[in-house]
Amino acid sequence: MNAINRLATVISLATLFPLVVHAAESKGTVEVVHWWTSGGEAKSVNVLKQIVEKDGFTWQDSAVAGGGGAAAMTVLKTRAISGNPPSAAQIKGPDIQEWGKLDLLTNVDDVAKANKWDSLLPQTVADIMKYDGHYVAVPVNIHRINWLWINPVVLKKAGVAKAPTTLEELYAAGDKLKAAGFVAIAHGGQPWQDTTVFEDLVLSIMGADGYKKALIDNDEEALTSSKMTEVFAALRKLQSYMDPDGTGQDWNIEAAKVISGKAGMQIMGDWVKSEWTAAGKNAGTDYECVPFPGSQGIYTYTIDSLVMFKLSKKNDTPGNNAARDDLAKVALEPEFQYVFNQNKGSIPVIKGLDMSKFDSCAQASAKDFAEAEKAGTLEPSMAFNMSTSQAVQGAIFDVVSNFMSDKKADPSKAGKQMYTAIKAAAQ
């Protein structure tokens, strides 16, 4: 090889090499804290990861196990305080405002403007995602909470002719299931799961107005009413149908008992569908979804959203900012909204998507959402962070779970205890 050829080889290697490195190199990293760790939910979040990676960015997964997200919030607080926030974290409802006040969030207004979020999102949803008029979060879905999930084969075996529509029918189904040797209600005894049942009973016994007064306005009269005594008495009654092995159990482990035919029913938000879907089961045939008995016409919701944090000095690079913006952009694109929500069990948060691609439970959810919106019975879920601060929610969780664990607790005193606990927490 003569000198000129040698030089040419060196030059071409030098120009080639960076190219090779670049092709494999990521354009930036987005780190996301979330609590989607069950089989079905991990599959759902993987959809987002794959799209972000296809766009050339690195997804750093910081999942913290624990249904309802209490453990994830603890980790997030510690990280934020020590100046090491992730790029984005799953935070919902009024808490977004609390984080905003701490001056820890950044906005994605440019992405929102370029992608017309103001017209894509329902106004109420857009408002929740904004702090001080700026988009600091991107919503990904709408979950309905007040559902009852049923294994129809199990109900049939126990001689239950149809899905219960009233509390009386629910108790009757529970009696038959127990008598036939099944777990009547698969339920994990964790505060957030207990409170899900409590919240549903408030809807069922006190109606949408009573729910609003008690669990959104935290009104003393509603919380200490005789109707609230009825709610706690019904909670005690339902407890007698719950899985005797459910103490401290995760929701997805309990869901598996309904899927496998060991249990007949589960009271849970529609993320439980992610487990049925992951197990290859179909809505309407393998399982049924009906509104929680007595709460027909009311729709309690939670909206999962990813909140954007100001990056630490070390991580604040153009590439990482671009990665965060990419995440925000793809989260509201139809491609993601379809696939993610089909896996997750929720319905799309953007307007105008074709629901015929979804299963019968999702279609029912979308229809009931629209009807409840019109009727004024669309309510933010307390148990899933949409109606109160975390402190108030924590106080309610404590009262409900103490009531569940103390079998002698008096239903007529629990409402008063709840009011007092809420007052103390709200200060």
Instruction: Name which of residues 283 to 322 contact ligand GAL (CB under 6 A).
Output: 302, 304
Residue nearest to ligand GAL (CB): 67
Torsion of CA 64, 70, 74, 80, to 10 degrees: 80
Contact map string, positions 144 to 183, toward ligand GAL, x by CB under 6 A: ----------------------------------------
Output 31 or 304, the one with its CB closest to ligand GAL: 304
Using CB under 6 A as the binding criterion, the count of chain residues that bind ligand GAL stands at 11
From CA 312, how far away is CA 301, in angstroms rounded? 33
Find the DSSP H helices in 25-122: 39-54, 70-81, 95-101, 109-114, 117-120
Backbone angles phi, psi at 151, to 5 degrees: -95, 105
90 and 35 Cβ atoms separated by less than 8 Å: yes
**Of 184-243, which residues contact ligand GAL (CB under 6 A)?**
none
68 touches ligand GAL (CB under 6 A): yes
CB of 38 to ligand GAL, least distance (A): 7
Please, which residue, 271 or 419, has the CB nearer to ligand GAL? 271
Least distance in angstroms from the C-beta of 142 to ligand GAL = 10
Q: Which helix (H) or strand (E) holds 135?
A: strand 134-135
Rounded distance between C-alpha atoms, residue 312 and residue 289, angstroms = 44
* 8 A C-beta contact, residue 38 and residue 275: yes
Q: Which residues are CB-neighbours of 400 under 8 A, at least 6 positions away?
A: 191, 194, 195, 198, 235, 418
Residue with smaller CB distance to ligand GAL, 252 or 320: 252
Taking CB under 6 A as the criterion, the residue among 30, 36, 135, 386 binding ligand GAL is 36
Nearest approach, Cβ of residue 266 and ligand GAL (Å): 13
Q: Which residues contact 56 (CB under 8 A, 6 or more apart)?
A: 26, 27
CB of 28 to ligand GAL, least distance (A): 26
Following DSSP, what letter does each residue of 268-283 receive, concatenated? Answer: --TTHHHHHHHTT--B
Q: 150: which strand partners?
A: 265, 288
Per-residue string for binding with ligand GAL, 381-420, x by CB under 6 A? ---x------------------------------------
Beta carbon nearer to ligand GAL, 302 or 417: 302
Residue 270 engages ligand GAL in binding (rule: CB under 6 A): no
Q: How far is the CB of 178 from ligand GAL (least distance, A)?
A: 27
- Residues near ligand GAL (CB under 6 A) are 35-36, 41, 67-69, 143, 271, 302, 304, 384
